[in-house]
Each structure stands twice: as structure tokens, then as C-alpha cells.
Structure 1
Amino acid sequence: MTSPTKTAANRENARKSTGPRTRAGKDRASRNALRHGLAVDLSADPQWGPQVEELARAIAGPRAGEGPTLAAARRVAGAQLDLVRIRSMRAGLLSDIDRLLREMDGDWEEPSTLGLVQAGLEAGLNQKEIYVIVTASRRSQPPARVSVLIGQLARIERYERRAMSRRKSLVRALDALCGA
């Protein structure tokens, strides 16, 4: 049986975890997935839809009709183009960080600062930890915008890992379907 103290603590925690209650809070939360557009299904996007179809037909091969093989190939193509899109965004963020740091002063050394950012991301450090390391490696304080970009880069890195995992499992499913 649960103690009264634990029951009270559980109820208090439940009251804190109900999500936004005001209209403004609910509106803000509803826009969370729209920040970067990576949650959009590529096959439904008019810009990417034809590319998904073209790549799917190339993956499925000439003898694949409108059956399960082509459907699986569409999923693989969508995952591959998702990865391309994510990596393009990642390259743009790295370019923005590079530009900001170059604009600052003459103590820029490409392998050290940008390498620190990438090494920090690979090590699983969070935005604040990476920013502290970057700040410590420079003679002058990087602009706050660098910290914001590092945070965006960390989120993009998570999307990239998920996309690679998704593509890998979809390719395995396609291979199993084709008997390869």
C-alpha cells in the first residue's frame, strides 16, 4: 500500500505535469513541431514528393510494380531524403557558426573551435557545456547567437541519428521483402 506522503507527492507532481493551461501556452506548444520543418512527411511535401517517387522507383528496380516492394522503396527513399535534408540543415548551421566566429576577431583557428563544437556534439554534451568549452578556448566572448546555433545543431544531430536509424531499419525491411 502507498503511504500518504507518497500519495501526496504523486498528486503534487501530477498537478505540475499537466502541460500548458492558458490559450497562449497551448498555442505556443502547438507550434513546437514547426520550428524547423523536420517533422513534415516528405512524400506530402510538393517540393520533395517527386524526388521521393523518383528515388523509390530507382531503388525498387524496373520490375517492381505498384506492390509492396515499391511501397517499401518509397519509405526507404523518404528516409534517405530526410537524411539529406537534415544534413543540409546541419551544414548550414555549421556555416553560420563558422561565419559568426570569423567575424569576431583574429584568434579564430578552424580546427580548434569548430572542431570543439563537433567533438562536443559527438560526445553527447549539451548546448551549455559546448558553449562553455568554446568560450574557454577563445580570447574573446563569442556572441550569444553562437550558443543558440549550438543548441539548434544539437537538436539537428538528434534528428540525424534518428533518421539514420530509421533508414537502416527500412532498408533491412526492404531487403527482407525482396529476399536479399
Structure 2
Amino acid sequence: MTTDRQRAANRANAKRSTGPASAAGKSRASRNARRHGLAAQAQFGSDRLERIDQLARAIIASMPGQIDLMQARSIAQAELDVTAARAVAGALLTELYGTVPDCDLALVPWRPLRPGAGLRTFHDLKMVERYLRRSQARRDKLVRLCLSGAGT
């Protein structure tokens, strides 16, 4: 049970906790919930839908009788998300290093080599890497569900 003294202390703390005070902090906080870039809802134009259908048909053909069209479309959409994230990561690596390193990325020294490429690019690369891992996990989970029969 909260005592009167604790309630008073909580109220005093709450009065001091009013969010960011600087203009830069307020600007950054105003964008906290905004979804953008790869995490934004993908636009389903005719080109993307056609690519999903083509990939779904290829998935069905490679696994006859094991997967239906709806499941294949879900996997295809997830695969396109992975492909897009890899393309963005490649572009960021090109910006950071001048070229995509042809080696194990775990061995790459994470420091900007190109003039002008700096912490912002590195931060973006970390965010894309996190999105890529999540996209790959989602795709892999869909495949496992479809193959186990739980998705039917």
C-alpha cells in the first residue's frame, strides 16, 4: 500500500517529468511512434502483387501438395521483405565503405571509411540489420508452420 509520503514524492517527481525541454528533444520525441522506411506498411501496387504471385507460384511448384496458394503468398511476401532489407543494407554499406565488402560481415571493422559517411549511416545500418533479422525470422516461421501442417 502506498503511503501519503510516497504519493507526495510521486507527485513531485511527476511534475518534474514533463518530457524533453529542448527543441531538438521535442522534435525527436514527436517522431517516436512514426513508422517509416522498411517497417512502414508496404505498398501493394500491381508490380509488387505480381512479384508476390510469381514467387508464390515458384514456391508451390517446388513443394507440390505441401503448401497452398495463401500460405505461399505469405512466404513470398516475407521473402520480398527480406530481399528489400538486404538491398537497403547493401546500399548503406556502399555509402559507408564505397563498396559492399566481399567478406564475412562479422569481420568488417565497423568504422566509416568514406569521407562524409558517419554515425548516421552506421545507425541506419544497425536498424536495417535488426529489421532484416526480424523479417528472416518471420519468413522462417511461416515456412515451418506451412511444412508442419499447422498453417492449413
Instruction: Kindly report the root-mean-square deviation, in angstroms, between the aligned alpha carbons of the 2 structures.
Output: 3.9
Matching of residue 156 in structure 1 with residue 149 in structure 2: no
Shift of residue 172, structure 1, vs aligned partner: 0.8
Contact 2:52 2:80 (C-alpha < 8 Å) held by counterparts: yes
Q: Residue 34 of structure 2 is aligned with which of 32, 35, 44?
A: 32
Q: Residue 168 of structure 1 is aligned with which of 103, 128, 140?
A: 140
Shift of residue 47, structure 1, vs aligned partner: 3.3
Q: 5 Å matches for 1:5-24? A: 6-7=6-7, 8-9=9-10, 12=14, 16=18
- What is the aligned partner in structure 1 of residue 76 from structure 2? 77
Matching of residue 115 in structure 1 with residue 111 in structure 2: no
Structure 1 residues 154 and 30: CA distance shift in structure 2, 3 A: closer
Gaps of 5+ in 1: 18-23, 101-109, 118-133
- What is the aligned partner in structure 2 of residue 21 from structure 1? none
The one-letter code matched in structure 2 to 1:41 is A
Structure 1 residues 58 and 5: CA distance shift in structure 2, 3 A: farther
SS in 1 for 2:40: coil
Q: 5 Å matches for 1:52-131? A: 52-61=52-61, 69-99=68-98, 115-117=108-110
Contact 2:96 2:118 (C-alpha < 8 Å) held by counterparts: yes
Number of residue-to-residue matches in the alignment = 135
Structure 1 residues 12 and 53: CA distance shift in structure 2, 3 A: same
- What is the aligned partner in structure 1 of residue 22 from structure 2? none
Contact 2:38 2:131 (C-alpha < 8 Å) held by counterparts: no
TM-score (norm 1): 0.58
Identity value in percent:
25
Tell me, in whole angstroms, the C-alpha distance in 2 between the residues paired with 1:59 and 1:84.
Answer: 16
Shift of residue 144, structure 1, vs aligned partner: 5.8
Structure 1 residues 162 and 5: CA distance shift in structure 2, 3 A: farther
Gaps of 5+ in 2: 20-25
Contact 2:81 2:135 (C-alpha < 8 Å) held by counterparts: yes
Q: Deviations over 1:19-65 (max 9, x none)?
A: xxxxx96xx5388322x2442236x243322111111122123977x
Q: Which one has the bigger helix percentage?
A: 1
Which one is further off, 46-55 or 159-168?
46-55
